[in-house]
Amino acid sequence: MAKLNEKNEAQRVATDGQDLLVVQNLVKYFPVQGGLIASILHKGKIPAVKAVDGVTFTIKRGEVFGLAGESGSGKSTIGRLVLRLYEPTRGKVIFDGIDLLKLKPEDMRHIRSRMQLVFQDPLAALNPRMTIGQAIDNPAAIHLSHLNADERRQAVLDILHQVGMNPPEAYYNLYPHQISGGQRQRIVLARALVTHPELVVADEPIAMADVSVRSILLDLMLKMKQEFNLTYLFITHDLATAKYICDRIGVLYLGKMCEMGEVGEVYEYPLHPYTQALLAAVPVPDPKRRRTTKMPEGEIPNPINPPTGCHFHPRCPLAQAICSQKEPEIRELRPGHTVACHFAENFLPKE
């Protein structure tokens, strides 16, 4: 466990030393802008988008933990809450034993170099007026202030080399529009890694990349994980990608965790109808193994006014009366495999 400065040591809480990140009952409600009219329509209560509604998970050191779900499930919001780019409504985020939500903003700066975000859209993430060298030097200047300008330049060249931009000197003075999309994603990764973080929150990091380079980028992320001893929170809507890179996975629906477990376990024995539907939507190359379950009809409901009981019940092909009345508890039905469904026992493998 790394030594922290005195202020941060004061916020240290007891955790399992193996856990790098502990997220407990995390909630984020975004008040809806609408002022008086919204207030009148909702009888005096200011409505809120319930983006994240009581999510709990842990990530062990060196693990790749995936958060999966459709657009609007809350997965990207959780990534930003973990980094405290958004302030949670309530809940706990404990990083390396430090309760982040108790840190003052200035104390978060010491922790930020140890936690980095890789954005989905590298073109939007990179300033078009900054060269690649400047873009990577920017976080280095903030978080590696003990290095002088020459040492920082060398650090930038080293990280460019490590992400496969060779020779690095040839790329240092180029602008983002002068390189390919796949190369831009390497630059975004280099910029995140130059401060040698421990946790990387990767938000759909290959979603904007050309299909032909996606597996190359995933392999690069796995290689960087080994070289830098990284832990990833990997956010994706694509369960095929999650299967490739993640050790464990949590499936989110409308701000709540439906199912969580080791990837092999969840993919082999999905216990929640929503996970089953997502897996059914993953293309399978072998026609004999094609799954028969169809993705449920309909959109994710309005998160301002989510369905009662199980949030998934309006779309669930297996819903019964209790599903709209009572929220299912999260239960561990197989070792390390939890699920929130009243009828998940029906999907347990026959012994």
Residues that bind ligand SF4 (CB under 6 A): 272-273, 310, 312-313, 316, 318-319, 323, 328, 341-343
Shortest CB 290 distance to ligand SF4, Å = 23
54 vs 181, beta carbon nearer ligand SF4: 54
Shortest CB 248 distance to ligand SF4, Å = 21
Cα 21 from chain centre: 12
User: Which 8-state DSSP code applies to residue 187?
Assistant: H
181 vs 309, beta carbon nearer ligand SF4: 309
Cα 267 from chain centre: 19
Helix (H) or strand (E) holding 48: strand 48-60
192 vs 323, beta carbon nearer ligand SF4: 323
Residue with tokens 């050191």: 61
Shortest CB 68 distance to ligand SF4, Å = 16
Dist CA 105 CA 19 (whole Å): 23
Shortest CB 261 distance to ligand SF4, Å = 16
172 forms beta bridges with none
Shortest CB 55 distance to ligand SF4, Å = 17
Shortest CB 145 distance to ligand SF4, Å = 50
232 vs 343, beta carbon nearer ligand SF4: 343
- The closest alpha carbon to 4, from 117, 18, 12, belongs to 12
255 vs 273, beta carbon nearer ligand SF4: 273
Residues 6+ apart with CB under 8 A from 21: 58, 59, 82, 93, 94, 95, 199, 231, 233
Dist CA 331 CA 283 (whole Å): 29
215 vs 324, beta carbon nearer ligand SF4: 324
Dist CA 157 CA 67 (whole Å): 32
Yes or no: say if 54 and 256 are a contact pair by the CB < 8 Å rule. Answer: yes
Amino acid occupying residue 280: A
Dist CA 37 CA 113 (whole Å): 43
State the burial class of residue 134 (Cβ atoms within 10 Å of its Cβ: 0-12, 13-18, 19+). middle
CA distances for 125 relative to 20, 114, 210, 335, angstroms? 26, 19, 17, 40
